Amino acid sequence: MSSRTLAVRRDEALGNGPRICLFGAAPDVGNHGLNALMLATLDGVTRRHPDAWITVFDNGLGRRRQRFGLDDRTVEVDCVGFRGGHRYYRPENHLTTRFAARSGLLGNPGAAALASADVVLDISAGDSFTDLYGAKRFTVTVAGKRIALATRRPLVLLPQTYGPFLHRRSLDRATTLLRGSAAAWARGADSYRRMVRMLGPDHDPSRHHLGVDMAFTLCPVSPDPVVVEQLEGTLEVACGAPVAGLNVSGLLYERPDVEGRYGLTADYRSAVQRIAERIVASGGTVLLVPHVGSDVAACRALRDTLDDPRVVLAPPGLDAAETKWLIGRTDFFCGTRMHSTIAALTSRVPTCAVAYSLKTTEVFGTLGVAERVADARRCTTEQLVEQVMRGWDERAAIGAVLERSAPVAIAAARTQQDAILDTVDQLIGVDT
């Protein structure tokens, strides 16, 4: 009897829909961008297959049932721990899971989920299929993909960035996994060109696609009424004045070596402080919106530094969809975290970005506002501030562009979502 048959019998009471595993979108890392990718994926899959049995690999312990709110419903999934490190006695260790999966040891929750999976989806946190963040992170990022191929589960790489790769060994391993996938989407033109180069003669347009970020399809969700009331109270200081949302990256704001580490030519801390000061001086209110856990401390530090009642902090505890709802209530938005700006752009909020990588410009270019990206690696501090303030002054013009382009981009993302789900259905033998 095969390990897959054993796993299906083990979980036969859990439902008759397709069994899908999702790697690279852990909901428990305090990153709204990653959370947005997971929620958008769950939304698409469960609309097509309401009876799907989905396993999301995260950083927790063991196997747990967890509920997530979407715009009009709640979905329930399995969450199974999947980690790096040297605690091989833990079933969550990726090497332990890999050994158990290949050996048919289905007492391991991750191995059991993979053994019964019809298809494995992997999104690599959107931008982590690279060795830029070190060997340990790369090893964990590719671990789920390796297990899927080793156990002959169909692997679909959702829209993500491919590379860059600093080391030949990493490139070779990534290329092998890319070639072994049943289908793959690249997030943006630059990444698609890199994908094509990696594949060489194995590039197949029917399997390897140019795509957009999955978060384009995320629907906003209104927070609890108590939180909405709290927000309204917080913004009473605006008194009808325009509200500018400002996302401050803790990654850039708190690190003393940030300029050298990321090649910045602008003083990030000084720039965001001056942007907030000038918006307030022009009559606006600044709403500080964290998008990753480390952003919270940075936003609080900026608020305390400015010590102005018109600089306020977003309510705590919002998830990605609720944060998108909040951003959609602003009159202008400036973000450093790319997914915070995606939330704004797709809500048709006039948006600028303070960027430190090419991925942000690709997203803004998709919506026809690439010139609204201030690249902190190429601008002086003064130039960066002036570019964002020009966006604040010209927010009506930016909004007019987004009124036209955002619906088109969202429709394209939904078409992509349908294409991905069609591929999944073909792989699991479901008529579309």
Instruction: Report CA torsion sign: 385, 386, 389, 394.
Output: negative
> Residues 275-305: pLDDT tens digits?
999 999 999 999 999 999 999 999 999 999 9
CA distance linking residue 83 with residue 58, whole number of Å = 8
Whether residue 240 has pLDDT greater than 50: yes
CA distance linking residue 358 with residue 401, whole number of Å = 21
CA distance linking residue 183 with residue 205, whole number of Å = 10
User: Is residue 374 within a helix (H) or strand (E), and if so which, with residue range?
Assistant: strand 373-375
- Domains of the chain and any CATH numbers: 3-211 (3.40.50.11930), 225-407 (3.40.50.2000)
* CA 363 from centroid of its chain's CA atoms: 13
Residues 367 and 351: beta-carbon distance below 8 Å: no
Q: Which residues contact 280 (CB under 8 A, 6 or more apart)?
A: 286, 306, 308, 310, 311
Whether residue 205 has pLDDT greater than 60: yes
Strands (E), 82-202: 119-122, 155-160, 183-187
CA distance linking residue 243 with residue 227, whole number of Å = 18
CA distance linking residue 45 with residue 49, whole number of Å = 6
> Residues 133-185: pLDDT tens digits?
899 999 999 999 999 999 999 999 999 999 999 999 999 999 999 999 999 99
Alpha-carbon distances of 96 from 27, 143, 149, 223, 402, rounded to whole Å: 22, 11, 16, 39, 48
> Residues 340-388: pLDDT tens digits?
999 999 999 999 999 998 889 989 999 999 999 999 999 999 999 999 9
| Structure tokens that stand for 364 in this block | 């803004």
CA distance linking residue 144 with residue 357, whole number of Å = 26
Section 218-229 average pLDDT: 92
Counting Cα atoms < 13 Å in the Cβ hemisphere of 275 gives: 36
pLDDT band of 330, cuts 50, 70, 90:
very high
The mean predicted confidence, pLDDT, of the chain is: 93
Q: Given this model, what pLDDT does residue 245 score?
A: 98
Helix runs in 367-394, H state only: 381-393
Whether residue 5 has pLDDT greater than 70: no
pLDDT band of 260, cuts 50, 70, 90:
confident
What global pTM score does this model have?
0.92
Q: Given this model, what pLDDT does residue 432 score?
A: 59
